[in-house]
Amino acid sequence: LLYTTVIVSPTSILRRISNSAQHISSVSTSAATQPPLSSRRHSSSSMAERALSPSEFSEYEASQHLFRQIKQAVAAGDERLTDDLLFQVSESIVGPGEDFAKGVIFAAARDRDGLPVLRLLEMGHGVDIFRLVDSDGDSVTHLAAKSQTAETMEFLKQKLQAAEADWNPFEARDSRQKTVMHRAAENLTDHGSTFQWLMFELEADCLTDRDANNNTVIHTAAQFQKAESMQFIKEKMNGVECFKLRGINNMTAVHCAACN
């Protein structure tokens, strides 16, 4: 099994987050041998200043808060605190706290710099975390393609190969029928490296996949990407005819580029 099943109540989950905030405060003040670590925590977040009560959290806010705690602990190199915080995800991944735990994973995927946390979450729960779908119908792969760099896509590829997975996350569609390529086409992080990586890895016909609005990936790229990515498309599609494909309101990629 991928997950550890421990049934906990949402109230106890939120209480543990409050306790972990107290723990962070304690570590920051007591670790005299690591003053730079203490000062970084104090300046980067107010989470160590006081314990937050369960009533101050919605489930969504709680998961975002825990993700930020994990991200800070990883950046600070605090392995003990990182393990303690990750355990809160592990013990909640199934049962009453399932949505809360998944929210932490979604938060890591949406964050431009969330890859270090995603690596740890994958280590604990397997590559199947990239199949999880949020309330908007976006998989973790969609979210990462929209927000993160090509490094995340390469990481996912390597994990899929190592696990000999029989599913392809890059073929998934969200509730708006957008593919992972559509989402990557909206991403300008690292000068569009994610979109360009996917173009190199996937077949050319992925660029002509259409979403619920009848727009191809090429339409989306024309609206969001820079000239370099459009040159990649031209080379992948062996010419400029692809830019004449019609999408929503009979628009071509040239129309979409005019809005870029």
- Kindly report, residue by residue over 85-111, the tens digit of the pLDDT: 999 999 888 778 899 999 999 999 999
CB-based contact 179:173 (threshold 8 Å) = yes
- Residue 230: pLDDT band (50, 70, 90) is very high
In a domain, 206, yes or no: no
> Does the structure show a pLDDT above 60 at 16?
no
In a domain, 139, yes or no: no
In a domain, 188, yes or no: no
- Residue 212: pLDDT band (50, 70, 90) is very high
- Residue 199: pLDDT band (50, 70, 90) is very high
In a domain, 41, yes or no: yes
- Over pLDDT 70: what percentage of the chain? 78
Q: Which two tokens stand for residue 29?
A: 């003040």
Burial class of residue 258, CB neighbours in 10 A (0-12, 13-18, 19+): exposed
Q: Which of 259, 194, 260 is nearest to 232 (CA)?
A: 194
Residue 176 CB: number of other CB atoms within 10 A? 13
In a domain, 259, yes or no: no
In a domain, 143, yes or no: no
Q: Which two tokens stand for residue 247?
A: 């999408």
Q: Tell me the C-alpha distance between 135 and 152, whole Å.
A: 22
Overall average pLDDT of the 115-124 stretch: 97
- Residue 57: pLDDT band (50, 70, 90) is low
Number of domains in the chain: 1
Range of the domain at 16: 1-125
In a domain, 76, yes or no: yes
Lowest-pLDDT range of 20-29, 35-44, 130-139, 156-165: 35-44
In a domain, 117, yes or no: yes
What is the four-CA torsion angle of 178, 181, 184, 186, rounded to 10 degrees?
Answer: -50
Q: Tell me the C-alpha distance between 41 and 126, whole Å.
A: 29
Q: What is the mean pLDDT of the chain?
A: 83
> Does the structure show a pLDDT above 90 at 252?
yes
- Residue 49: pLDDT band (50, 70, 90) is very low
